[in-house]
Amino acid sequence: SKLSSVFSLSLSLYPVIELNHHVISVVPESGLLIILGFILGGIVWGADKAQTFKLLPPTFFYYLLPQIILDASYFMPNKLFFSNLGSILIYAIFGTCWNAATVGLSLWGCYEAGVMGNLDIGLLQFLLFGSLIAAVDPVAVIAVFEEVHVNEVLFILVFGESLLNDGVTVVLYNVFDAFVALGGPRIDAEEIFKGIFSFVVVAFGGSFLGVVFAVLLSLLTRCTKHIQIIEAGFVFVVGYLAYLTADMLSLSAILSVTFCGICCQKYVNANMDEKSVTTVRHAMKVLANGSETMIFVFLGITAIDTEIWVWNTGFILLTLLFVFIYRIIGVFLLTWMLNKFRLVPIEVIDQVVMSYGGLRGAVAYGLAAMLDKDKIPEKNLIISTTLIVVYFTVILQGITMKPLVQWLKVKRAAHADLKLIEKLNNRAFDHILSAVEDICGRIGDNWWTRGWNRFEENYISWLLMKPKARKNRDYLFSIFHKLNLEDAVNYVSEGERQGSLAFIRSDEVANVDFKKQFGSEFTDVMPDIMVDMSNYELGIENFSVTSIVKDTIPSVSLDIHGKDRKNVADDINAHHLLQQHLYRSRKNHRHKFSRSHFSINQSEDEVQEIFQRTMRSRLESFKSAKMGVNPAKKITKHHKKDLTHKVKDFHDASFTWIAQLYKGSVTIKMNPVFLPAMDSPTHSSLPWLMETDAVAPSQRAQWRLLWTPNRLRRLAPMRVSTCSTDSFLMADLEEHEEKPQTDHEEEIFQSGPPKKHSCRKFH
């Protein structure tokens, strides 16, 4: 009840903060929430004369933290994470140990030197304090880095470190807690050895448990075809279960949830229905945001409590100092070592940001609050200090982080006024270097990674993914599918703008429901689309249809043209345009993780755009190479799943080039959009290359592709399943040749132009 009231109160004040963008851009949200907490705490204090709202450790650790970690791990960019895993582990393990040891020992040294006055505290307790204050906090890191956009690698290093250091923190905390209980004299080598051993057990045990639950979750989602409505719930339930189980077994709960999320995301997203995926994402974000808000508010509220405050200037100031300094030293030292081994070294500016970004947060406070008062008499001092450190890092460092990053970057890359050709060259050289790097083989291209990918593809995916999902794994296919969806939506909305969808609902043929036409095998793959299939039926020769088509083409194209013409009148600043729109090279891409947005970020859009373009131009070159020469050999599907067919070895460069491009293997996975039907040169089968003698669409319109029913041909059905002998494919068995194919690959076929399909399929 207290929790819910604070929750609703803070959430309702959330929009108020949001409205004030000026404030947000300077002070990070988390800082504002803490201040809000102060206010609320003050109100409660004023009313009750005692702090009735407290952040109790169990509340924090069991109700508020798990969903944040689950959110972080579920949306973790896996490829980036694993390629930097070595560095992340070094920072997490050695960095945290370093921080704990140095802070603890330095404080003890200062205490012995008498700076702090009289305290009932010993070396072990200092070390215990060091271990709980050492850990970089994931919640705080997310909160602050979200608003400061740094490059991917830097982000993943700090973020990954903050997640993985929990293993170390838990161990150190428990070890020193036990040591404190034992008392000084009884600690010997055996105990220390037990401590190290327990680290191994806790960390690896926690991670392993997380993986186990990830497997469980994937299997569950694999089997939920008929109960899709509750799929989404499984993610949360199993995720939380992972957390609780690990905690119950005294393993690292955060690590458990982290690895559960990281490992399951791919399979769960593939297995679940799209609606469930969306549900999970939204719900996850809501929960995580809500929890984070509450945590920070509570952190503020708990400050307004006279009971806990014990002020010891020396202790507090020294702690702040040491925490800050040793973080910097630790980061620079470790990075120096790492750069000898890393393929892409971490630059100085990144190291600065990394050290400055070592934020402490609620986890430290939670651990401090869990201390046993009897064993550690100075508990309140520790809590006070922890709170001060948290406020300092979150508020102060949070506020100054963004200006610091900007200042450093500006200082580094001061350019004089460059000519356009220079700007163009700069970017071109970036791209060239990325390309050469890729040609020479980069980080991901060693034997281990390839071996793992192969293993994963063949065995793990087989186990954990739905068969349908496995077929759709194809990268190209998924882009194609996305494009289709986009185009379909655009097509309909464009049509609606024209007045009515009458031209769709032509009276020639009834609306075609894909489901009915092509069987249920397609429904999982293709969206439900109401499409005028009449031109498939009757071809372009049918005048009535063509007239409708012709009527629509001009209007749509002209419309686009008109929009273009309006812009010409504006004064075009070439420099500005160039700056804005040049594609960014790989190293300039932004990080993808965000608390509040999970939509595709601009980089991914750009990458997709480039990818599409490259594919189109390759196809065009292929087409021009093939035109008038030999028609491409047709591929048809085989009839039984276990027949091994191999696609005939096409020595035509472009053709196999396209086919192999995304598998990189000899076996060819045909994606029909790239498989032009070449039975005769007169059929311009590639929809976007089809000539219409209507108004020539502007280049932009062409790029935008399919505005007309004609061009919806691209949505022509693709064969995905292998099992049944589908009638419409049988239709084109005229010139087929049986091609062998290897076992593992399923084939996607298309044969002949759509026109031929229609002849037989509707019966």
Site for other proteins in 211-250 (CB under 8 A): none
Structure tokens belonging to residue 175: 């070890």
- Member of 348, 420, 501, 627 binding other proteins (CB under 8 A): 420
Which residues, numbered 470-529, are part of the site for other proteins (CB under 8 A)? 475
Question: Would you say 662 and 615 are in contact if contact means Cβ atoms under 8 Å apart?
Answer: no
- Binding of other proteins by 333 (CB under 8 A): no
- Member of 5, 20, 278, 617 binding other proteins (CB under 8 A): 617
Minimum CB distance to other proteins, residue 416 (Å): 7
Q: Which is nearer to other proteins, 510 or 666 (CB)?
A: 666
590 SS3 class: strand
Q: Round to whole Å and give the CA distance between 125 and 540.
A: 84
The torsion of the CA quartet 519, 524, 530, 535, rounded to 10 degrees, works out to: -60
Which residues, numbered 342-371, are part of the site for other proteins (CB under 8 A)? 343-345
Minimum CB distance to other proteins, residue 399 (Å): 29
- Binding of other proteins by 416 (CB under 8 A): yes
- Binding of other proteins by 21 (CB under 8 A): no
- Binding of other proteins by 587 (CB under 8 A): yes
Stretch that binds other proteins, among 106-114, 314-322, 464-472, 581-589 (CB under 8 A): 581-589
Question: Would you say 296 and 37 are in contact if contact means Cβ atoms under 8 Å apart?
Answer: yes
Q: Which is nearer to other proteins, 380 or 588 (CB)?
A: 588
Give the residue carrying structure tokens 């063509």: 546
- Binding of other proteins by 568 (CB under 8 A): yes
Structure tokens belonging to residue 186: 């009884």
Stretch that binds other proteins, among 288-296, 430-438, 528-536, 711-719 (CB under 8 A): 430-438
Minimum CB distance to other proteins, residue 611 (Å): 5
- Member of 273, 508, 524, 606 binding other proteins (CB under 8 A): 606
Which residues, numbered 22-81, are part of the site for other proteins (CB under 8 A)? none
- Member of 618, 623, 648, 761 binding other proteins (CB under 8 A): 618
Stretch that binds other proteins, among 217-225, 349-357, 563-571, 752-760 (CB under 8 A): 563-571
Minimum CB distance to other proteins, residue 560 (Å): 10
- Member of 191, 456, 486, 564 binding other proteins (CB under 8 A): 564
Burial label, 414 (beta-carbon count in 10 A; 0-12, 13-18, 19+): exposed
Q: Which is nearer to other proteins, 577 or 723 (CB)?
A: 577
Minimum CB distance to other proteins, residue 740 (Å): 16
- Member of 15, 114, 441, 499 binding other proteins (CB under 8 A): 441
Stretch that binds other proteins, among 29-37, 456-464, 603-611, 741-749 (CB under 8 A): 603-611
Minimum CB distance to other proteins, residue 7 (Å): 42
Q: Which is nearer to other proteins, 8 or 446 (CB)?
A: 446
Minimum CB distance to other proteins, residue 406 (Å): 18
Stretch that binds other proteins, among 238-246, 548-556, 561-569, 628-636 (CB under 8 A): 561-569
Minimum CB distance to other proteins, residue 350 (Å): 13
- Binding of other proteins by 614 (CB under 8 A): yes
DSSP of 295-331, one letter per residue?
HHHHHHHTTS-TTT----HHHHHHHHHHHHHHHHHHH
Q: Round to whole Å and give the CA distance between 515 and 175.
A: 62
Site string for other proteins, 276-315 (x = CB under 8 A): ----------------------------------------
- Member of 610, 696, 723, 733 binding other proteins (CB under 8 A): 610
- Binding of other proteins by 590 (CB under 8 A): no
Q: Which is nearer to other proteins, 342 or 481 (CB)?
A: 342
SS3 letters across 531-562: ECCHHHHHCCCCHHHHHHHHHHHHHHHHHHHH
Q: Which is nearer to other proteins, 47 or 440 (CB)?
A: 440
In DSSP terms, 531 is beta-bridged to 512
In order of 132, 266, 281, 359, 560, the CA distances from 77 in angstroms are 28, 11, 15, 21, 37
Q: Which is nearer to other proteins, 234 or 491 (CB)?
A: 491
Burial label, 523 (beta-carbon count in 10 A; 0-12, 13-18, 19+): middle
Q: Which is nearer to other proteins, 132 or 658 (CB)?
A: 658
Minimum CB distance to other proteins, residue 85 (Å): 17
Instruction: Give the DSSP H or E segment for 512.
Output: strand 512-513
**Which one, of 259, 273, 297, 290, lies nearest residue 32 by Cα?**
297
Q: Which is nearer to other proteins, 184 or 345 (CB)?
A: 345
Q: Which is nearer to other proteins, 666 or 723 (CB)?
A: 666
Minimum CB distance to other proteins, residue 572 (Å): 5
Minimum CB distance to other proteins, residue 432 (Å): 6
| Residue 442, phi then psi, degrees to nearest 5 | -105, -155
Q: Round to whole Å and give the CA distance between 606 and 595.
A: 22
- Member of 6, 615, 635, 677 binding other proteins (CB under 8 A): 615
Q: Round to whole Å and give the CA distance between 756 and 732.
A: 7
Cα dihedral sign for 352, 353, 356, 357?
negative
In order of 507, 522, 541, 672, 757, the CA distances from 762 in angstroms are 17, 16, 20, 21, 9
Minimum CB distance to other proteins, residue 274 (Å): 24
Q: Round to whole Å and give the CA distance between 580 and 564.
A: 18
* Plot region of 380 (φ>0 → left; ψ -120 to 50 → alpha; else → beta): alpha
Minimum CB distance to other proteins, residue 583 (Å): 5
Question: Would you say 88 and 81 are in contact if contact means Cβ atoms under 8 Å apart?
Answer: yes
In DSSP terms, 635 is beta-bridged to 737
Minimum CB distance to other proteins, residue 110 (Å): 39
Q: Which is nearer to other proteins, 31 or 676 (CB)?
A: 676
Which residues, numbered 679-718, are part of the site for other proteins (CB under 8 A)? 698-700, 703
- Binding of other proteins by 435 (CB under 8 A): yes
Cα dihedral sign for 388, 394, 399, 404?
positive
In order of 136, 183, 184, 281, 644, the CA distances from 525 in angstroms are 44, 65, 66, 21, 24
SS3 letters across 630-684: CCCCCECCCCCCCCCCCCCCCCCHHHHHHHHCCCCCCCCCCCHHHCCCCCCCCCC
Q: How far is Cα of residue 673 from the mean position of the Cα atoms in its chain?
A: 28
The one-letter amino acid code at 286 reads V
Burial label, 497 (beta-carbon count in 10 A; 0-12, 13-18, 19+): exposed
Stretch that binds other proteins, among 364-372, 431-439, 529-537, 543-551 (CB under 8 A): 431-439
Which residues, numbered 174-213, are part of the site for other proteins (CB under 8 A)? none
Q: Which is nearer to other proteins, 442 or 468 (CB)?
A: 442
**Which one, of 719, 721, 717, 706, lies nearest residue 754 by Cα?**
717
Which residues, numbered 621-680, are part of the site for other proteins (CB under 8 A)? 653-654, 656-658, 660-666
DSSP of 203-230, one letter per residue?
HHHHHHHHHHHHHHHHHHHHT-TT-GGG
Burial label, 185 (beta-carbon count in 10 A; 0-12, 13-18, 19+): exposed
- Binding of other proteins by 596 (CB under 8 A): no
How many residues at the interface with other proteins, by CB under 8 A? Answer: 75
Structure tokens belonging to residue 259: 């690895």
Q: Which is nearer to other proteins, 113 or 416 (CB)?
A: 416
Site string for other proteins, 443-472 (x = CB under 8 A): --xx--------------------------
Structure tokens belonging to residue 620: 């065009």
